[in-house]
Amino acid sequence: MSLEIAVKAAAGAPNVLGDCPFSQRALLTLEEKKIPHKIHLIDISNKPQWFLEVNPEGKVPVIKSDDKWVPDSDVIVGILEEKHPEPPLATPTEFASVGSNIFGTFVSFLKSKDSNDGTEQALVAELSALDEHLKAHGPFVAGEKISAVDLSLAPKLYHLVVALDHFKNWTIPESLTNVHNYIKLLFARDSFEKTKAAKEYVIAGWAPKVNA
């Protein structure tokens, strides 16, 4: 029996995969583990009745596991690891939080209207810390093999690269060579190509937040 997963559809294009990094993280895990699955694309602005019945909070992603719909990408990744241990993707505990502040600092910088408020510096500091970590342990966060922490970071870094380039004309400093290599490695994977939202949907997804 193939597993079912509900993820965000693109804004204005309900039959196209949308721009939710947490949905992509779950899809990446399914792809890396080669787990057969059926995808339900959910139009967030017009959620289908069946979806709200099985998942009253209406959040994505959710997977159907043992006839129950389970939300939250952290929980989903844990369930997939437990039920489909091969190939193992669990990240060693000491590396599990590497890069965990990047997404928050990226969003603050993206929304910032004041170039002197320190949000850019905060993001560069987080990316520099990731660069140092990769220099010591790379090419992935936990060494030679991709693991859950990379699959969580990949969609967030994709949003960072696309949105900051578009809205701020900003790119990751060239001096952070390990981060650049890491991003290239992640974005080149088949699993990533298959599960990423098109750039225009990422941009459309962030536009209301940037212009708020």
SS3 assignment for 91-151: CCHHHCCCCCCHHHHHHHHHHCCCCCCCHHHHHHHHHHHHHHHHHHHCCECCECCCCHHHH
Q: Please tell me the predicted confidence (pLDDT) of residue 4.
A: 96
Cβ contacts of 122-127, under 8 Å, gap ≥ 24: 124/173, 126/99, 126/101, 126/102, 127/102, 127/172, 127/173, 127/176, 127/179
Q: Is residue 20 annotated as part of the catalytic site, yes or no?
A: yes
Question: How many whole angstroms separate alpha carbon 41 and alpha carbon 136?
Answer: 40
Of 167, 158, 160, 144, which is closest to residue 196 (Cα–Cα)? 158
**Cβ–Cβ under 8 Å, residues 187 and 160:** no
pLDDT level of residue 2 (50, 70, 90 thresholds): confident
pLDDT, residue 211, reads 87
Q: What is the pLDDT of residue 9?
A: 97
% of residues, the chain, pLDDT over 90: 96
Which residue type is seen at 156? K
Does 113 score more than 80 pLDDT?
yes
The pLDDT tens digits for 4-48 are: 999 999 988 999 999 999 999 999 999 999 999 999 999 999 999
The single residue of 7, 20, 110, 163 carrying the catalytic annotation is 20
Task: Pick the closest to residue 22 from 2, 6, 45 (CA basis).
Answer: 6
Q: Give the tens place of pLDDT for each residue, 37-96.
A: 999 999 999 999 999 999 999 999 999 988 899 999 999 999 999 999 999 999 999 999
Please tell me the predicted confidence (pLDDT) of residue 66: 86
Query: End-to-end alpha-carbon separation of the chain, Å?
Result: 44
Q: What's the average model confidence in pLDDT over 204-212?
A: 92
> What pTM, to 2 d.p., does this model score?
0.96
Indicate whether 1 pLDDT > 70: no
**Averaged pLDDT for residues 142-161:** 98
Q: What is the pLDDT of residue 212?
A: 81
Nearest to 131 by CA among 109, 102, 108: 102
* b/e sequence 6-30, b meaning 16+ C-beta within 10 Å: bbbbbbeeeeebbbbbbbbbbbbbb
CA dist., res. 148 & res. 180, Å (int): 19
Which domains are assigned to the chain? 3-83 (3.40.30.10), 93-210 (1.20.1050.10)
The answer to whether 3 and 162 are in contact (CB under 8 A) is: no
